[in-house]
C-alpha cells in the first residue's frame, strides 16, 4: 500500500491543512499524520483539531520550548522513523516544522510535496522566508495558491511539478463558517456588535521580542482606539504575553484605553470575530487571507507581506509598527470599498491536491 506522511506543527497549519488531510484520508492510501508540537500550547492545538473536526495525529511530539535550530533538528530526528517507509512526504507553509520535513524527505530520498508553495515576502530577515524558499527548491510537487506564486517560482527557475490550486484557507473557511456562526457565542459573551470593533492579533518574533517595536505598536493601537472610537479586541498570543512580562510592558498595555485583552480563542470563535469586525489589524499571514475572504479590511503590522495579492486589490495595507502609520492605515482601510475579489480560489484546493497526489502515486 502507498504511504503518505503529512507533517504539521502549528495552529495555522492545522487550520489550512485540515481540509487537505481529510481529502487525502479519502484516497484509500495509508495516510500518516504527524504533529511536531511546534506551537506553544498543545491543549489549544487539540481545541483546533476538535473545532475543525480533524482526527487526532498518528504521531505527536512537543517542541515548543526549544530554539528554532533545535526544533528543526529534533523534528528530523523524531520523525525520521515515520517517513522512512513513506512514498510521499507532504509539508505546508513556512515553519520550522516545514523546513525539517523538507530536509528529512530530501535526506531519505523521498518525494516531497509543498502546499502553499511559491509565496514570497522578499524579506530574507524573516526566518519564514528562508524556510519556504528552501522547501520549494527541495520539493517535487509544488501546490501554489496563485499565479503570482507560480511566477515567483519561475523567477527562481522552479518550473517542474508546479500546480496552481488556490489556497486551502478558503476550503477551511467555507467548510467552517456556518458551524462557527451556529455554535459561537463570542459576540454575545464579549458584548460586541457587528462592525463596531477592531480585531487585533500580534505575535511575530520581529514585533514582540524587542521592546522598541512592541512599545511603538502599543502607541499605534492607542491612537487607533482614540481616533476611531472603536474598541480593539486583542486575543493575546502566549508568545506576546510572555514578552510583555519579560520586557516590563504589562502596565503599558493595560493602560491603553480601548484595548481589550482576552485569552487566546479557538478557531470557530476567531472566525466569527473576524467576519464581524470593522477592521483586522494583524501580523499573521493567515488572517490577511481570511479577512480578504470576509471582505473585512486589514492592516498588516509588518514591513512586507507574502500575500501581495491583498495589497493589489485594496484589501490590505502595510503599516509596520510605527504609530502614525498604523493610525493612518487604519483610517484609510476603514473607508475602503469592500468590493474586492477573492484571489485565493473557489474552495476546491484540497480536492485538487488530493487528485494530483492520487495521480502521482497511482
C-alpha cell at 157: 527557475
| Cα-based distances in Å from 218 to 126, 227, 255, 257 | 22, 14, 10, 11
C-alpha cell at 310: 491583498
Radius of gyration of the chain (CA): 20
d(CA 245, CA 250): 6
C-alpha cell at 103: 530536509
Active-site entry in 29, 92, 141, 203 = 203
Residue 203 appears among annotated catalytic residues? yes
Residues carrying an active site annotation = 203
Amino acid at each position: 500500500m502507498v504511504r503518505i506522511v503529512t507533517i504539521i506543527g502549528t495552529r495555522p497549519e492545522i487550520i489550512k491543512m485540515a481540509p487537505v488531510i481529510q481529502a487525502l484520508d479519502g484516497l484509500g492510501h495509508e495516510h500518516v499524520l504527524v504533529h511536531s508540537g511546534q506551537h506553544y500550547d498543545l491543549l489549544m492545538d487539540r481545541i483546533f483539531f476538535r473545532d475543525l473536526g480533524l482526527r487526532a495525529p498518528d504521531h505527536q511530539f512537543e517542541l515548543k520550548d526549544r530554539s528554532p535550530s533545535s526544533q528543526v533538528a529534533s523534528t528530523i530526528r523524531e520523525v525520521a522513523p515515520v517517513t522512512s517507509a513513506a512514498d510521499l512526504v507532504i509539508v505546508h507553509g513556512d515553519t520550522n516544522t516545514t523546513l525539517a520535513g523538507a530536509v528529512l524527505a530530501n535526506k531519505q530520498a523521498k518525494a516531497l510535496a509543498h502546499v502553499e508553495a511559491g509565496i514570497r515576502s522578499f524579506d530574507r530577515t524573516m526566518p519564514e522566508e528562508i524556510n519556504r524558499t528552501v522547501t520549494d527548491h527541495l520539493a517535487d510537487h509544488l501546490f501554489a495558491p496563485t499565479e503570482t506564486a507560480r511566477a515567483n517560482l519561475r523567477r527562481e527557475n522552479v518550473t517542474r511539478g508546479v500546480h496552481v490550486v488556490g489556497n486551502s484557507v478558503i476550503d477551511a473557511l467555507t467548510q467552517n463558517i456556518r458551524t462557527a456562526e451556529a455554535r459561537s457565542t463570542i459576540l454575545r459573551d464579549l458584548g460586541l456588535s457587528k462592525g463596531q470593533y477592531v480585531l487585533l492579533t500580534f505575535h511575530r518574533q520581529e514585533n514582540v521580542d524587542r521592546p522598541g517595536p512592541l512599545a511603538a505598536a502599543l502607541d499605534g493601537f492607542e491612537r487607533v482606539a482614540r481616533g476611531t472610537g472603536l474598541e480593539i479586541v486583542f486575543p493575546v498570543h502566549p508568545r506576546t504575553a510572555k514578552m510583555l512580562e519579560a520586557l516590563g510592558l504589562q502596565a503599558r498595555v493595560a493602560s491603553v484605553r480601548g484595548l481589550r485583552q482576552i485569552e487566546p480563542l479557538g478557531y470557530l470563535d476567531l472566525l466569527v470575530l473576524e467576519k464581524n469586525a470593522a477592521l483586522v489589524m494583524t501580523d499573521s499571514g493567515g488572517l490577511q487571507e481570511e479577512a480578504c475572504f470576509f471582505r473585512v479590511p486589514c492592516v498588516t503590522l509588518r514591513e512586507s507581506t507574502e500575500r501581495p495579492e491583498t495589497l493589489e486589490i485594496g484589501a490590505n495595507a502595510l503599516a509596520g509598527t510605527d504609530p502614525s502609520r498604523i493610525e493612518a492605515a487604519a483610517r484609510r482601510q476603514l473607508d475602503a470599498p469592500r468590493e474586492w475579489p477573492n484571489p485565493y480560489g473557489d474552495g476546491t484546493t484540497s480536492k485538487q491536491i488530493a487528485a494530483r497526489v492520487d495521480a502521482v502515486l497511482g
